[in-house]
């Protein structure tokens, strides 16, 4: 019997009323393993109403008590880690260990959010004027929402929900309908940890649900991660409806390999960052930029050797390096781009098409693919492939390599491998990209820093997690106060000032 994944609203599973459902596939076999409801606009509005009813009491709860709920949640996630990883792997396709990493990177942010009592502190100034004190406080927005992608079904919902909940908001999560089980299970664990019913709600859906979230006046802010066209749409629509928006889009991450780099280290980094999770990461390295012909030839040789050692198979199978793509459509799209690269004249060093995994012939598998002599006018360079495909774009010198990353329309992440400190320092200062790695291929910051790309990779003024996460989900109120001292001064018609006479 096919498993059914319900909405989670008001602290309980909620049966749908709209009748529309979507299939949830097992990417390793290509078989339907579950079905998920697609909420109607009325159903989404009911979820928002439930959240709005619950939020005031949660906002009135002290930050310390809210933090204790997060502490208990962290413990519960650790106790249920294997279950979460198995669920995640079965619906996304990533390996068991990679699935655990997905959950753990989400927990990193929750652990940072346990410090909310300190982060939410305001400022205080005495004697801003004669007998006048000024202080500020950070207050929750109310009901906020997150629209999250398939490729990190634990991490990104937790990145969004953690600071929102810790700040006193109620949170409505619309996860990807491709792998919806883990978000529901995380919501159940939050409830078990003591989070009041209605503060974290999970509603499944497609564009109808998204548009309802974007237009309902009770939603005060929307966080999104996904493709750039959708990020642009959500950002514009949310802003047009008076909401804050924090939207992160696609990427085309470069890794520059200088002639002085440790080429074995660089090759290992490119293999892991380019092909891990089948390349379905917004921080995946999809473009290698060796500087100089000698560096390029040596790097391509090392990459080719390592590609032959990669094992592709079901995520729960021991010894597998990466699993299938998430869907048949995703596989077909990547295969189409590979063919476009061939047709454009790129050198196809390794072709991952046609891979068949014994016993899992219907799975969405694609072997590691490597292109050399890629040029910037080719679609395999211009587009985010989101699959296990690495393109080598050769640069004659450092300045050309720097320009490649800086001039690309995307600006999510970039890396440089070098032994030279001056080069690394210059690169970090000058490259026009939001997150930079020095001898690190995937420069995802730790939770106390913020995560965010530039250019077409990010829309909005504030990034994810770190201090920005709390700034995004709160508003600042500033109070100027004076207690009567018994001295009557009479009416003043002069603009108050803090210098000279008066107040």
Per-residue pLDDT at 302: 98
Q: Are residues 164 and 221 in the same domain?
A: yes
CB 420 within 8 A of CB 260: yes
Q: Are residues 421 and 337 in the same domain?
A: yes
Q: Which domain holds residue 164?
A: 3-249+457-478
Q: Are residues 80 and 155 in the same domain?
A: yes
Q: In whole angstroms, give the CA distance from residue 184 to residue 191.
A: 11
* Contacts for 450 with CB less than 8 Å, ≥ 6 apart: 462, 463, 464, 465, 466, 467, 468, 469
Q: Are residues 162 and 66 in the same domain?
A: yes
Per-residue pLDDT at 255: 98
The question of whether 282 is a catalytic residue gets the answer yes
CATH number at residue 291: 3.40.309.10
Q: Please give the share of the chain, as a percent, with pLDDT higher than 70.
A: 98
Q: Report yes or no on 488 lying in a domain.
A: no
Work out the pLDDT band at 502, boundaries 50, 70, 90: very low
Tokens of 129: 């004027």
What's the average model confidence in pLDDT over 270-295?
Answer: 97
Q: Are residues 63 and 11 in the same domain?
A: yes
What's the average model confidence in pLDDT over 277-289?
Answer: 97
Q: Are residues 244 and 265 in the same domain?
A: no
Provide the number of structural domains found in the chain: 2
Q: Are residues 425 and 462 in the same domain?
A: no
Q: In whole angstroms, give the CA distance from residue 473 to residue 165.
A: 9
Per-residue pLDDT at 501: 46
Q: Report yes or no on 58 lying in a domain.
A: yes
Q: Report yes or no on 474 lying in a domain.
A: yes
Q: Are residues 21 and 74 in the same domain?
A: yes
Per-residue pLDDT at 261: 98
pLDDT digits (tens, 9 = 90+) for 11-39: 999 877 778 999 999 999 999 999 999 99
Q: Report yes or no on 497 lying in a domain.
A: no
pLDDT digits (tens, 9 = 90+) for 117-131: 999 999 999 998 888
Q: In whole angstroms, give the CA distance from residue 289 to residue 377.
A: 15
Q: In whole angstroms, give the CA distance from residue 170 to residue 88.
A: 25
CATH number at residue 13: 3.40.605.10
Radius of gyration from C-alpha coordinates of the chain: 25
Per-residue pLDDT at 499: 54
Q: Are residues 379 and 342 in the same domain?
A: yes
Q: Report yes or no on 445 lying in a domain.
A: no
Burial 171-182 (b: 16+ CB within 10 A, else e): bbbbbbbbbbbb
Q: In whole angstroms, give the CA distance from residue 388 to residue 430.
A: 29
CB 231 within 8 A of CB 222: no
Q: Which among 88, 143, 189, 282 is annotated as catalytic?
A: 282
pLDDT digits (tens, 9 = 90+) for 374-433: 999 999 999 999 999 999 999 999 999 999 999 999 999 999 999 999 999 999 999 999
Helices (H), 114-206: 116-119, 155-166, 181-192
Q: Are residues 264 and 217 in the same domain?
A: no
pLDDT digits (tens, 9 = 90+) for 194-236: 999 999 999 999 999 999 999 999 999 999 999 999 999 999 9
Is pLDDT larger for residue 57 or for residue 498? 57
Per-residue pLDDT at 500: 47
Q: Are residues 190 and 272 in the same domain?
A: no
Q: Report yes or no on 364 lying in a domain.
A: yes
Per-residue pLDDT at 487: 63
Backbone angles phi, psi at 274, to 5 degrees: -85, -35
Mean pLDDT (the chain, rounded): 96
pLDDT digits (tens, 9 = 90+) for 51-70: 999 999 999 999 999 999 99
Indicate whether 104 pLDDT > 90. yes
Q: Are residues 308 and 225 in the same domain?
A: no
């Amino acid at each position: 019997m096919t498993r059914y994944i319900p909405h989670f609203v008001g602290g309980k599973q909620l049966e749908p009323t709209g009748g529309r459902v979507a299939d949830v596939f097992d990417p390793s076999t290509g078989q339907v393993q579950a079905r998920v409801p697609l909420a109607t606009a009325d159903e989404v509005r009911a979820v928002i109403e439930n959240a709005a009813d619950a939020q005031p009491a949660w906002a009135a709860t002290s930050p310390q008590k809210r933090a204790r709920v997060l502490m208990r949640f962290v413990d519960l996630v650790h106790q249920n880690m294997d279950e979460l990883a198995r669920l995640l792997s079965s619906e996304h396709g990533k390996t068991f260990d990679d699935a655990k990493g997905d959950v753990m990177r989400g927990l990193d942010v929750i652990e940072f959010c346990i410090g909310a009592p300190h982060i939410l502190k305001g400022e205080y100034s005495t004697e801003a004027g004669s007998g006048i004190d000024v202080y500020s406080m950070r207050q929750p927005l109310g009901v906020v929402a997150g629209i999250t992608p398939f490729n990190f079904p634990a991490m990104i919902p937790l990145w969004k929900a953690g600071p929102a909940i810790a700040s006193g908001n109620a949170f409505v999560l619309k996860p990807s309908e491709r792998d919806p089980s883990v978000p529901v299970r995380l919501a159940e664990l939050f409830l078990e940890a003591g989070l009041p019913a209605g503060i974290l709600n999970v509603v499944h859906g497609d564009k109808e649900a998204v548009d309802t979230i974007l237009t309902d006046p009770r939603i005060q802010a929307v966080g999104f991660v996904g493709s750039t066209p959708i990020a642009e749409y959500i950002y514009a629509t949310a802003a047009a409806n008076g909401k804050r928006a924090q939207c992160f889009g696609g990427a085309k991450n470069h890794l520059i390999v200088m002639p002085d780099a440790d080429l074995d280290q660089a090759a290992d980094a490119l293999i892991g960052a380019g092909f891990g999770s089948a390349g379905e990461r917004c921080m995946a390295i999809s473009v290698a930029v060796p500087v100089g012909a000698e560096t390029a030839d040596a790097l391509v040789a090392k990459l080719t050797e390592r590609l032959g050692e990669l094992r592709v198979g079901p995520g729960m199978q021991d010894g597998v390096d990466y699993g299938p793509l998430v869907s048949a459509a995703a596989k077909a799209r990547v295969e189409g781009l590979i063919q476009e690269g061939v047709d454009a004249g790129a050198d196809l060093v390794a072709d991952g098409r046609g891979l068949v995994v014994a016993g899992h012939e219907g799975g969405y598998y694609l072997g590691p693919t490597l292109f050399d002599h890629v040029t910037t006018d080719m679609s395999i360079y211009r587009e985010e492939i989101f699959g296990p495909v690495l393109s080598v774009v050769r640069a004659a010198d450092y300045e050309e390599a720097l320009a490649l990353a800086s001039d690309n329309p995307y600006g999510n992440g970039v890396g440089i491998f070098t032994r030279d400190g001056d080069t690394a320092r210059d690169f970090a200062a000058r490259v026009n990209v939001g997150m930079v790695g020095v001898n690190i291929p995937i420069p995802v910051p730790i939770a106390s820093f913020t995560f965010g790309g530039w250019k077409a990779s990010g829309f909005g003024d504030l990034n994810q997690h770190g201090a920005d996460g709390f700034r995004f989900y709160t508003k600042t109120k500033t109070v100027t106060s004076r207690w009567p001292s018994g001295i009557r001064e009479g009416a003043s018609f002069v603009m108050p000032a803090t210098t000279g006479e008066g107040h």
